[in-house]
Amino acid sequence: MFVRHREIHHSGRAGWLRAAVLGANDGILSTASLVLGVAAAHATHANVLVAGIAGLTAGAMSMAAGEYVSVHSQADTEQADLARERVELKTMNKAEHQELAGIYVQRGLDEPLAKQVAEQLMAHDALGSHARDELGISKKAKPRPIQAALSSAASFAVGAALPLLVAVFAPAAILIPLVFGTSLAFLALLGGLAARAGGAGVMIGALRVTFWGALAMGVTAAVGALFGTMA
* Digit-coded pLDDT (tens) for 87-99: 777 777 777 777 7
Phi-psi bin for 224: left (phi > 0), alpha (psi -120 to 50), beta?
Answer: alpha
| Distance, CA of 87 to CA of 214 (rounded, Å) | 53
Percent above pLDDT 70 for the chain: 84
Q: What is the DSSP string of 34-97?
A: HHHHHHHTT--HHHHHHHHHHHHHHHHHHHHHHHHHHHHHHHHHHHHHHHHHHHHHHH-HHHHH
Distance of CA 68 to the CA centre of its chain: 12
* Digit-coded pLDDT (tens) for 108-121: 777 888 777 777 77
User: Does residue 126 contact residue 46 with C-beta atoms inside 8 Å?
Assistant: no
The pLDDT score that the predictor gives to residue 78 is 76
Q: Is the dihedral of CA 83, 87, 90, 93 positive or negative?
A: negative
* Digit-coded pLDDT (tens) for 69-85: 888 887 778 778 777 77
Which of the two residues, 147 and 126, has the higher pLDDT score? 147
| Distance, CA of 209 to CA of 196 (rounded, Å) | 14
Q: Please report which confidence band the pLDDT of residue 10 belongs to, taking 50, 70 and 90 as the band edges.
A: very low
Q: H-helix or E-strand containing 174?
A: none
Q: Please report which confidence band the pLDDT of residue 178 belongs to, taking 50, 70 and 90 as the band edges.
A: very high
Give CA separation, 84 vs 71, 81, 102, 104, in Å: 20, 5, 19, 21
The pLDDT score that the predictor gives to residue 12 is 44
Specify the amino acid at residue 23.
Answer: G
Give CA separation, 100 vs 17, 23, 95, 110, 210, in Å: 32, 39, 9, 13, 46
Beta-carbon contacts of residue 17 (< 8 Å; ≥ 6 apart)? 194, 197, 198
User: Does residue 191 contact residue 210 with C-beta atoms inside 8 Å?
Assistant: yes
User: Does residue 34 contact residue 159 with C-beta atoms inside 8 Å?
Assistant: no
Q: Is the pTM of this model over 0.85?
A: no
The pLDDT score that the predictor gives to residue 226 is 86
Give CA separation, 34 vs 97, 100, 127, 172, 209, in Å: 57, 53, 49, 16, 18
Give the start-to-end residue ranges of the domains of the chain. Answer: 13-230
